[in-house]
């Protein structure tokens, strides 16, 4: 049985996590997976549903930041321009982005037909990591049924590790995957949540840092095929904090701090993408008033949120590693888990 990094006694940062210590601690957020696990294919799709109502009709504040753009993400352009999210967020492998986007459009069109909402365009948001080391990516085995499966199976206490879009990913030369964490903040007498979910597929082995300890060089001795700082990582930050899209962009950029704390310098071949949404303000399709009324946090109150985003990202990455199993995939290649390579022995020696 896999354990999360906190179960090993590793506590990241000073802020308290939410009840599940996952992105889904943000009220209304669900996450679902569909996984393809065969001898040649280790891949899948992960879908984040920021709310259960119709997102096209009730848009959310959103932001995106491309730290290093070696990636194939869709939907970022309109988020950058309008600052809103109108579909769930799907994560998958590089060559399946188009197929998953098509399925996500189908899902939203179906939902809008059911809700009697006229649609002529929809901005489906899909992120990716290249899982071709363990997955025969050229077969493009994911289809509409997998996206719909991920959506219908979405829940609060979702799986982590080598599941969904993280089934075939590699991280620091080990088995990467899906990881999540959250932090709770008290601002103005009210509690707010910042949650992070990552799809980890990045980092050079020698640079890996575990809660400030440089363990990468020790791990290099156990890994026959070391990894350079390349691949990708998708970082999705969700919150119920009332922020503008500009403030949200400032917030999600701090996910890069958590990324660096794990040892990444965001190398040439790495796509390091941050996506974010806030559920606090909604922009209603049927609104007739020419003015929207929104709440926005004072700029001076953002520092704790910046800290929380960095902490949750670091812990989410470590959870993606500790919750992953050792996986053998395409061409008999193997990525060993952090647990099998290091954590199990480290825990015995504490």
Angle between helices 97-114 and 144-152 (to 10 degrees): 60
Burial class (CB in 10 A: 0-12, 13-18, 19+), 121: exposed
Quick check: is 37 catalytic? no
| Angstrom distance (rounded) from CA 74 to CA 86 | 13
User: Which of 180, 272, 278, 320 is the catalytic position?
Assistant: 272
Quick check: is 232 catalytic? yes
CA-nearest of 34, 71, 342, 327 to 211 is 342
Assess contact for 240 and 61: CB atoms under 8 A.
no
User: Which of 232, 244, 320, 322 is the catalytic position?
Assistant: 232
Residue 180 DSSP SS3: strand
Phi, psi of 200, deg, nearest 5: -95, 130
Distances (CA, A) of 117 to 56, 57, 88, 108, 109: 9, 8, 17, 10, 9
Non-local CB neighbours of 180 within 8 Å, separated by 6+ positions: 21, 22, 23, 24, 31, 158, 160, 195, 196, 197, 198, 316, 319
User: Which of 244, 270, 278, 337 is the catalytic position?
Assistant: 270
| Angstrom distance (rounded) from CA 63 to CA 249 | 5
Non-local CB neighbours of 108 within 8 Å, separated by 6+ positions: 55, 56, 86, 87, 119, 122, 124
Q: Determine how many CB atoms are found less than 10 A away from the CB of residue 186.
A: 10
Which of the residues are catalytic? 232, 270, 272
């Amino acid at each position: 049985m896999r354990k999360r990094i906190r179960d090993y006694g590793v506590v990241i940062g000073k802020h308290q996590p939410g009840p599940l210590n996952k992105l889904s601690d943000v009220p209304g957020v669900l996450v679902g997976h569909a996984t393809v696990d065969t001898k040649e294919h280790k891949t899948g799709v992960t879908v984040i549903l920021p709310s259960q109502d119709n997102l096209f009709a009730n848009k959310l504040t959103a932001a995106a930041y491309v730290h290093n753009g070696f990636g194939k993400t869709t939907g970022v352009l309109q988020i950058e321009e309008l600052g809103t999210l109108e579909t769930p967020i799907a994560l998958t492998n590089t060559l399946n982005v188009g197929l998953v986007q098509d399925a996500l459009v189908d899902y939203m069109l179906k939902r809008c037909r059911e809700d009697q909402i006229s649609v002529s365009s929809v901005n489906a948001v899909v992120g990716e990591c290249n899982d071709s080391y363990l997955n025969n990516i050229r077969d493009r085995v994911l289809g509409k049924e997998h996206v719909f499966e991920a959506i219908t199976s979405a829940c609060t206490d979702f799986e982590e590790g080598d599941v969904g879009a993280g089934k075939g990913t590699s991280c620091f030369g080990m088995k990467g995957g899906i990881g999540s964490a959250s932090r709770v903040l008290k601002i103005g007498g009210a509690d707010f949540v910042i949650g992070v979910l990552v799809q980890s597929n990045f980092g050079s082995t020698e640079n890996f840092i575990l809660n400030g300890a440089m363990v990468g060089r020790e791990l290099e001795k156990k890994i026959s095929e070391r990894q350079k700082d390349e691949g990708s990582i998708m970082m999705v930050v969700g919150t119920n904090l009332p922020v503008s899209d500009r403030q949200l962009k400032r917030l999600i950029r701090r996910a890069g701090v958590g990324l660096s704390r794990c040892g990444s310098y965001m190398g040439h071949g790495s796509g390091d993408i941050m996506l974010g949404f806030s559920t606090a303000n909604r922009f209603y399709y049927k609104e007739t008033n020419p003015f929207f009324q929104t709440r926005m946090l004072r700029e001076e109150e953002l520092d704790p949120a910046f800290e929380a985003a960095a902490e949750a990202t670091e812990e989410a990455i470590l959870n993606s590693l500790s919750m992953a199993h050792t996986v053998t995939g395409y061409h008999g290649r193997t990525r060993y888990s952090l647990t099998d390579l290091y954590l199990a022995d480290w825990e015995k020696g504490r």
